[in-house]
Amino acid sequence: MTERYQIIKLIDKDPAGGMYLAEDTTLERKVVFRHIESAGEDVEQKSWVKDFSIFAGKLCALQHPNLLTIYDVATDEGGVSMVTQFIEGESLAERLAKGALPQMGAYRMASDLLEALHAAHASGVFHGAMHTGSIVRLPRATGGHRYLVIDLGLNKLATMVKGRDVHIADPVLLAPELHEGKNEPDVRADLFMLGQLCYTALAGGHPFAEDSPEQCVASHMAGELPPLTEYAPGVQPDFAAWVMHLASGERSQRPASVKEAMTSLHAITIDEPLPNVPGETHAVVATPPVLATAEVLVSADEETVVPSGHPEKKSNIRMVAIASALCLLVGIALWLGLRRGGEVEAAVAAAASAYPAVPEGVWVHLHDTEIVNTMKNRDTPVAVNLDTEKTLDWTVATDAPASSKRKQKDGARYIQSILVSGAFKEFNMKKNPVGYTAAGEEVIPQAVTDSNKAHKAKPGEGWQTILSVPQKHKGPVIVIFYLVQSHCDFDIQVAGPNQNQPMKFKVSPSGPGVIKIPLEITNPEGGDFYTIKTLAATKDAKKVFSMGINAIHVESR
Domain boundary assignment for the chain: 5-85, 90-266, 313-352, 361-556
pLDDT of residue 424: 73
pLDDT of residue 41: 54
pLDDT of residue 47: 67
Q: Is the peptide bond before 275 cis (omega within 30 degrees of 0)?
A: no
Least confident segment among 179-183, 208-212, 258-262, 346-350:
346-350
Q: Taking a C-beta distance cutoff of 8 angstroms, is the pair 407, 447 a contact?
A: no
For the domain made up of 5-85, the CATH class stated in words is alpha beta
The highest-confidence range among 77-91, 96-110, 157-171, 413-427, by mean pLDDT, is 96-110
Q: Which residue has the higher pLDDT, 311 or 426?
A: 426
pLDDT of residue 219: 92
Q: Taking a C-beta distance cutoff of 8 angstroms, is the pair 490, 521 a contact?
A: no
143-184 residue pLDDT tens:
889 999 988 888 888 777 776 777 778 999 999 998 877 788
pLDDT of residue 115: 93
Q: Taking a C-beta distance cutoff of 8 angstroms, is the pair 272, 104 a contact?
A: yes
Burial class (CB in 10 A: 0-12, 13-18, 19+), 23: middle
CA distance 228 to 203: 7
Per-residue DSSP letters for 211-247?
S-HHHHHHHHHTT-PPPHHHH-TTS-HHHHHHHHHHT
pLDDT of residue 340: 42
CA distance 10 to 14: 12
Cα→Cα distances 149→70, 344, 420, Å = 12, 50, 22
Q: Which residue has the higher pLDDT, 266 or 377?
A: 377
Q: Which residue has the higher pLDDT, 269 or 93?
A: 93
pLDDT at 465 > cutoff 90: no
Q: Taking a C-beta distance cutoff of 8 angstroms, is the pair 539, 506 a contact?
A: no
Once rounded to an integer, what is the mean pLDDT over residues 133-138? 93
Tell me the helix, strand and coil percentages in the chain, rounded to 5.
Answer: 30, 30, 45
pLDDT of residue 193: 96
Once rounded to an integer, what is the mean pLDDT over residues 525-532? 84
User: What is the 8-class DSSP label of residue 67?
Assistant: B
CA distance 295 to 217: 78
Cα→Cα distances 125→10, 156, 453, Å = 28, 10, 29
Label residue 63 by pLDDT band (50, 70, 90).
Answer: confident
pLDDT at 101 > cutoff 60: yes
Q: What is the mean pLDDT of the chain?
A: 80
CATH topology of domain 361-556: Jelly Rolls (2.60.120)
pLDDT of residue 351: 41
Q: Taking a C-beta distance cutoff of 8 angstroms, is the pair 370, 522 a contact?
A: no
pLDDT of residue 404: 64
Residue 394 CB: number of other CB atoms within 10 A? Answer: 25
Length of the chain: 557
Q: What are phi and psi of 265, to 5 degrees?
A: -70, -45
pLDDT at 95 > cutoff 50: yes
Closest by Cα among 64, 113, 66, 114 to 527: 114
**What are residue 306's DSSP bridge partners?**
297
277-315 residue pLDDT tens:
444 433 433 333 333 332 323 333 333 333 333 334 444
CA distance 221 to 174: 12
Q: Taking a C-beta distance cutoff of 8 angstroms, is the pair 320, 299 a contact?
A: no
- Helix residue spans in 247-368 (DSSP H): 258-266, 313-340, 344-352
Once rounded to an integer, what is the mean pLDDT over residues 546-552? 92
pLDDT of residue 81: 81
Once rounded to an integer, what is the mean pLDDT over residues 433-451? 87
Closest by Cα among 507, 526, 504, 528 to 517: 507
What do you get for the CA distance between the two ends of the chain, in Å?
49
326-356 residue pLDDT tens:
555 545 454 444 444 444 344 434 444 578 9
pLDDT of residue 516: 97
Label residue 111 by pLDDT band (50, 70, 90).
Answer: very high
1-40 residue pLDDT tens:
667 888 898 888 877 778 889 888 888 889 988 888 776 5
pTM above 0.75, yes or no: no
496-516 residue pLDDT tens:
887 778 899 999 998 899 999
Half-sphere exposure of 144 (CA within 13 A, CB side): 18
Domain 90-266 sits in CATH 3.40.50.360: no
pLDDT of residue 298: 32
**What are residue 485's DSSP bridge partners?**
513, 547
CA distance 16 to 387: 45
Cα→Cα distances 339→329, 332, 336, 342, 385, Å = 15, 11, 5, 5, 20
Cα→Cα distances 214→43, 177, 200, 208, 383, Å = 36, 12, 19, 11, 63
% residues pLDDT > 70 (the chain): 80
Least confident segment among 34-48, 121-135, 447-461:
34-48
Closest by Cα among 177, 178, 176, 188 to 257: 188
% residues pLDDT > 90 (the chain): 34
pLDDT at 363 > cutoff 80: yes
